[in-house]
Amino acid sequence: MISFNHVTKKFGENITAIDDVDFTVEEGKIVVLLGPSGCGKTTLLRMVNRLESITEGEIIINGENSKDMDPIELRRKIGYVIQSNGLFPNMTIEENVMIVPDLLGWSKKDKRERFEYLMKLSGLDAKDYGKRYPHELSGGQQQRIGVVRALAADPPVMLMDEPFGALDPIIREKIQDEFLQIQREVKKTILFVSHDIDEAIKMADKIVLLRDGKIMQFDTPSEMLAHPKQEFVSQFFGKDRAIKGLSLHTVENLREVIGLGPVDDSVQDTKTINVHQDLRNTLSMLLNQEADQVIVKDDAGENIGTITIDLVQKYLHFEIKGKVSASQEG
């Protein structure tokens, strides 16, 4: 758990980079710091492992005030991933990944076992890649190594500064999925910096939207999209925020709320999608007019119904408007 208690950072007398920031990253959750460039998100992240100093307030990490800890000890307990992976070209992949365990003085055997486990997580072969050097790997592979390196000493807390920002969109999405898969297994408390709205929606349990060092809104992605509290928030997420929000919902969610349409066996031109597909992709597919009928299949491959644009719209209405009227009544 990371708690920010009225954290402020000033450069000199007049420039306030971080202004009275107060929020908590719950144990095992991902909080994404989101905002335009220059909003202070990276500065805030770097204050956690004391690469930046704190002017006022305090940051409590798993019950300990970061100010009271030795910065070197503190950093070794926190995984740190940066955009340009930061792998050291003079070391092999194994040496790179094992840096923190090495600093902590682990035995050779422990390091070996840990390395093999981490490489299994990363999906790269330990034997094949261990002895290679970073420049012999592709950008995506390097970033995977950058992520597992941060996990090396099994730190409870991780800081990730636009870790996937330098990758091309296709690889980025793949690595995001892989990372969420890893997170389900390791359950770290993660603070994640991003300027990419889609990434934030996808990765975050909660989003902190920052502007000029101030928190504009701290909420779950779906709340933030459906109920922006300020003009800036809705502007930032854009007019298409309803569409963006659809990526948080799956066909399964829709089925549970309003049900699917019946399958018409007479229609020849059909396509099928999985019930766990998100609604944003589903809607794109429907809009592309790829087929006359889109059939939803469950995990067993059974047809369980059809989906149409009308159904998606109905669901949206129910989800957004329904909740608004409910909250107004409440």
Partner 1 sequence: MNRKKLIGNIVRYALYAVVAAFFIWAISNSYFDYIFSQSGTFLVLLRQHIVLVLVSSLLAILIAVPAGILITRPKFKRAEWIVSNIANLGQTIPSLAVLALMISFLGIGFQTAVFALFIYSILPIFRNTVAGIDSIDKNMIDAAKGMGMKPHQILFRIELPNSAYSILAGIRTAVVLNIGTAALAYVVGAGGLGVWIFTGINLFDNGFLISGAIPVTLLAIVADFILRRVEYAVVPKGSRRIEKA
> Does residue 90 interact with partner 1 by CB under 8 A?
yes
Residue 201's CB: how many other CB atoms inside 10 A? 25
Alpha-carbon span 276 to 94, nearest angstrom? 37
As beta bridge partners, residue 7 has 21
Alpha-carbon span 276 to 199, nearest angstrom? 19
Alpha-carbon span 315 to 330, nearest angstrom? 21
The distance of closest approach from Cβ of residue 261 to partner 1 in the complex, given in angstroms and rounded to an integer, is 52
Q: Which lies closer to partner 1 via its Cβ, residue 152 or residue 260? A: 152
- β-pair type (270-274, 293-297): parallel
As beta bridge partners, residue 24 has 3
Alpha-carbon span 14 to 195, nearest angstrom? 26
Binding mask 151-170 for partner 1 (x = CB under 8 A): --------x-----------
> Does residue 135 interact with partner 1 by CB under 8 A?
yes
Q: Which lies closer to partner 1 via its Cβ, residue 9 or residue 75? A: 75
The distance of closest approach from Cβ of residue 81 to partner 1 in the complex, given in angstroms and rounded to an integer, is 8
Q: Which lies closer to partner 1 via its Cβ, residue 80 or residue 115? A: 80
* Residue 63 exposed, middle or buried by CB count within 10 Å (0-12, 13-18, 19+): exposed
The distance of closest approach from Cβ of residue 162 to partner 1 in the complex, given in angstroms and rounded to an integer, is 11
Q: 245 to 274, contacts with partner 1 by CB under 8 A?
A: none
Q: Residues in contact with partner 1, total (CB under 8 A)?
A: 30
Q: Which lies closer to partner 1 via its Cβ, residue 92 or residue 222? A: 92
The distance of closest approach from Cβ of residue 207 to partner 1 in the complex, given in angstroms and rounded to an integer, is 23
Residue 16 contacts residue 10 (beta carbons within 8 Å): yes
> Does residue 88 interact with partner 1 by CB under 8 A?
yes
Two structure tokens written together for 234: 């809705």
Q: HSE (CB half, 13 Å, CA atoms) of 285?
A: 21
Residue 191's CB: how many other CB atoms inside 10 A? 24
Two structure tokens written together for 254: 């829709």
Which residues have C-beta within 8 Å of that of residue 293, sequence separation ≥ 6?
A: 263, 264, 267, 269, 270, 271, 306
Helices then strands (H, E): number in the chain? 16, 13
End-to-end Cα, the chain, rounded Å: 31
The distance of closest approach from Cβ of residue 78 to partner 1 in the complex, given in angstroms and rounded to an integer, is 8
Q: What one-letter code names the amino acid at 128?
A: D
> Does residue 99 interact with partner 1 by CB under 8 A?
yes
> Does residue 82 interact with partner 1 by CB under 8 A?
yes
Quick one: which of 289, 291, 187, 214 has its CA closest to 20? 214
The distance of closest approach from Cβ of residue 52 to partner 1 in the complex, given in angstroms and rounded to an integer, is 11
The distance of closest approach from Cβ of residue 63 to partner 1 in the complex, given in angstroms and rounded to an integer, is 20
Q: Which lies closer to partner 1 via its Cβ, residue 91 or residue 186? A: 91
The distance of closest approach from Cβ of residue 53 to partner 1 in the complex, given in angstroms and rounded to an integer, is 14
Q: Which of 103, 180, 309, 324 binds partner 1 (CB under 8 A)?
A: 103
Binding mask 38-77 for partner 1 (x = CB under 8 A): --------x--x-x--------------------xxxxxx
Q: Which of 23, 106, 117, 133 binds partner 1 (CB under 8 A)?
A: 133
- Applying CB under 8 A, the residues found at the interface with partner 1 are 46, 49, 51, 72-78, 80, 82-92, 99-100, 103, 133-135, 149, 159
